[in-house]
Amino acid sequence: MNEGVVDLGKKLVTGPLFTISGTPIDGPTLLIAVLVLVLTNLLAKFLGNAVLKSELLKKLQAPSARLMTERLVKGLVWFLGFSIAVGTLGIDLGALFAAGAVFAVGAGLAFQNVAQNIVAGLLLIFEQTIKPGDILLVEGTLVRVDELRLRATVGRTLDDESIIIPNATLAKDVVRNFTLTDSLYRLRAQVGVSYTSDLELVDEVLYQTARQFPARTKERDPRVLCTGFGDSNVNFDVSIWTNDPWSSPMTLSSLRREIFKALREHGITIAFPQVDLHVDQVLLETLARPEPREQPPSIPS
């Protein structure tokens, strides 16, 4: 039994254990490759933590950006360590990379949209033009960003529905970010008054109503503009600024109610569509004439 153990030990040390692509792998070579992978794991963890604690990444406010940088560093270390380990085993890296290139081309054709979204996600993360908590207008929908992921961005709508937006959409399309530099947001309410109204009084009532509106920010004064003349009304535009874009629909509804109440209190009529019908006098006289009665045919005697 001792001789069998000794032979097995000699085989592990000097003899090949198995063969990969015609290359015999012995015990010491396998042990060195395993040690390389273990050291690679330790080095990846160390560099990842060092990158997270670096002063450069502390300037990135988005946690997703710091996490993505850590993963990229770890991935690069693992790629180098794996290449060294495979080279230690004597495997032809050129053939391995050639096979990987063929696979990458096929995968790239199959997952072109996925790759596009990932690249767009990296750009968004490092540029920080969109961050968790931002309020966006995406394809006409108001969205609050909950999480910025590598392939897609997860947000929440005003209907309390989760929405998944591909990162490529945010990178290539025009997206309004209401909180990129500040949260100042402008609200507009349109109203039309009748042509018999005193326009100076209308302007004053609208301005005071907007100025006393509690939800507006005091940083900017409201504006009242006469925007045009309609078929039945004179149009006015009342604008205020708020610091809460997410609540803009509710705030705008309250502003419209205050405008309606103020105009009503001052006897100003909010116009509604009216149509004046002019009928020709000759036509009226013709319609007023009685229709002649038809005489029955005479019967010969």
What's residue 143's pLDDT? 93
User: How many domains, the chain?
Assistant: 3
225-262: pLDDT as tens digits: 999 998 888 999 999 999 999 999 999 999 999 999 99
* DSSP per-residue string spanning 205-269: HHHHHHHT-TTS-TTS--EEEEEEE-SS-EEEEEEEEES-GGGHHHHHHHHHHHHHHHHHHTTPP
Same domain, 14 and 102: yes
Instruction: Domain of residue 208: give its range.
Output: 185-265
Are 151 and 121 contacting, i.e. CB atoms less than 8 angstroms apart?
A: yes
Tell me which residue of 124, 11, 163, 35 sits closest to 88, measured CA to CA: 35
Same domain, 79 and 168: no
Same domain, 101 and 137: no
Instruction: Give the end of a domain, one of 77, 110, 143.
Output: 110
Q: Is residue 31 part of a domain?
A: yes
Residue that the structure tokens 């205050």 belong to? 258
Q: Is residue 89 part of a domain?
A: yes
Helix (H) / strand (E) element for 146: namely strand 141-148
Amino acid at 57: L
Q: Is residue 258 part of a domain?
A: yes
What's residue 279's pLDDT? 67
Mean of pLDDT over the chain:
78
Same domain, 207 and 135: no
130-183: pLDDT as tens digits: 888 899 998 888 999 998 887 889 999 999 899 999 988 888 888 899 988 888
pTM over 0.75: no
24-50: pLDDT as tens digits: 666 666 777 778 788 888 877 777 777
